[in-house]
Structure 1
Amino acid sequence: MAEPPDQPSLAEFARRHDPDRFLCALFAPAASREAIFTLIAFNHELARAREAAREPMMVLIRLQWWRDAVEEAVARRPARRHEVAGPVSRAIANGSLDPAALLAMIDAREGDETGEGAPPLPERLRGTAGALAAETGRLLGAPPERMEGLRLLGTAYGFGGTLRSLSALAAQGRDPLPEGADPVDAGRVLARKGLSILDAGRKAAVGLPRGAVAAALPAVLAQRDLQRVLSPGWQPGAPPAPRGLGDRLAVAWAGLRGRV
């Protein structure tokens, strides 16, 4: 049955809102891409909760809406009328997505809104970008012993994305750099931390099946983003430059050869 006219394709949704992960998903087996696009869309909606509502309580209410949507899908209740909630419900029902993993992603976002006692940046990124990479790998058939590697690679991508988005994060009151620190020096400290996690992830992901390599491909962009922060002339307040041909070719080369 065709999607209703008010429902854009999930591929287009992912391409528009998360072009990095959309590009990586194109190197997954065709039969798995719809589930990956659903996961990307779900992650975007969780991230958008903070962008759409500045007050922590309103963010938590939005995240609770998604928690309820996942739990209702588990209970086989009718899907909510929403362009992403519907596909998420169907993916849970057909076993493509693990509801426990989705709920853990919500937990990580909620922990970012609790103020005092919120987890440090590496832990937050592990629960968001890292969890997304691991769940992508799971649905692509990655073995359990490679999940930690994927989680680390996803976390490293989160470091790169955070440093690319410093100006937007600061505008939302979410500057991850230590208050009072030189922003260039502090950003480079984070970049080196991200590269260390990336290296650990690559070692832990050795032997990842070729069919699951799409889950690891964001690490290619992480390497390039983090190295840019360490290059002369990096400015933390500058808006992120659009992805260039070099970035896309690096992902394509890694995807075609089946390793990162």
Structure 2
Amino acid sequence: MSLDACAANVQRGDPDRFLAVMAAPVAARARLLPLYALNLEIARAPWVSTEPMIAEMRLQWWRDVVTEPTPRAHEVARPLHDLIQSAGLPLDVLDRMIEARRWDIYRDPFEDQAAMDAYLEDTGAGLMWLSACALGAAPEAEQPVRAYGWASALASYLRAIPELAARGRVPLVDGRSQAVSQLALRGLIRLNAARRTGVPRALRPALLAGWQAEGLLKQAARDPAAVAEGRLQLSDFARRGRLLWQATTGLF
């Protein structure tokens, strides 16, 4: 029931986000790790069983954790509860982030592009806004943080397309090359909009988790076939170099 357990879970299950949090200032890590550990728990919940009801129960368990006034004896739930209380995290954002993962349980495609956009908004953008809130974000920072989070979520989602398809899901509303390229360009537009608006330096550790977004989205826009073929990735040099640059400069 400690931050060490959260860190160990994130390191094993979400190594890219673990690298990002370790590049953040030490004080920020204690605020980010419980949220990243929660994200890992709810992202895995739909896949741990072939029985939809079990997955539904796991997600409901986490919804209850978020709203209950007393902490549960769980290695992630306890530090998460403490963070919710100390940072005053918005419970509605947490609930939508968990609820959105119900889509992963079933094999139904997104109803339309707006539904997919909402999924990215509630999952990735919601997580990045919660991370910023944990670092003391004011309401006026929400729009740029969410825009950057949405772009980052899209980049990660595009990278997961082959695995989702292999598991019998229909991950894209329109999988044609032109549509994938246009989707990636939409992500780049949101990323650039976040830059134009700006985010206070104190909140920028929350944005480190999106350090690969720009490179991945540019690659997807230029070479959309890389998405379905599982080639959407940055070189190790580019990955680490970009993270180092973002962490040291504070730019995003």
* Same fold by TM-score greater than 0.5: yes
8 Å CA contact retained: 1:125, 1:158: yes
Gaps of 5+ in 1: none
Aligned residue in 1 for 2:13: 17
CA RMSD of aligned residues (A): 2.7
Are 1:175 and 2:166 matched, yes or no? Answer: no
Q: 1:107 aligns with which of 74, 92, 99?
A: 99
CA deviation map 1:203-246 (0-9, x unaligned): 23x1x222211122334311011112234472523266576121
Q: 1:142 aligns with which of 113, 120, 137?
A: 137
8 Å CA contact retained: 2:10, 2:37: yes
Are 1:46 and 2:42 matched, yes or no? Answer: yes
5 Å matches for 1:45-64?
45-64=41-60
Are 1:226 and 2:221 matched, yes or no? Answer: no
Separation (CA, whole Å) in 2 of partners of 1:18 and 1:141: 24
Shift, 1:68, TM fit: 1.4
Bigger shift: 133-142 or 105-114? Answer: 105-114
TM-score of the aligned structures, taking structure 2 as reference length: 0.85
Shift, 1:177, TM fit: 2.3
Q: 2:77 aligns with which of 80, 85, 93?
A: 85
Aligned residue in 2 for 1:67: 63
Residue identity over aligned pairs, in percent, reads 33
Gaps of 5+ in 2: none
| Alignment: residue pair count | 248
Are 1:129 and 2:121 matched, yes or no? Answer: no
Are 1:159 and 2:151 matched, yes or no? Answer: no
- CA change 1:117–1:236 in 2 (3 A) is closer
TM-score of the aligned structures, taking structure 1 as reference length: 0.82
Shift, 1:164, TM fit: 0.7
Q: 1:236 aligns with which of 228, 233, 252?
A: 228
Shift, 1:52, TM fit: 1.5
8 Å CA contact retained: 1:28, 1:212: no
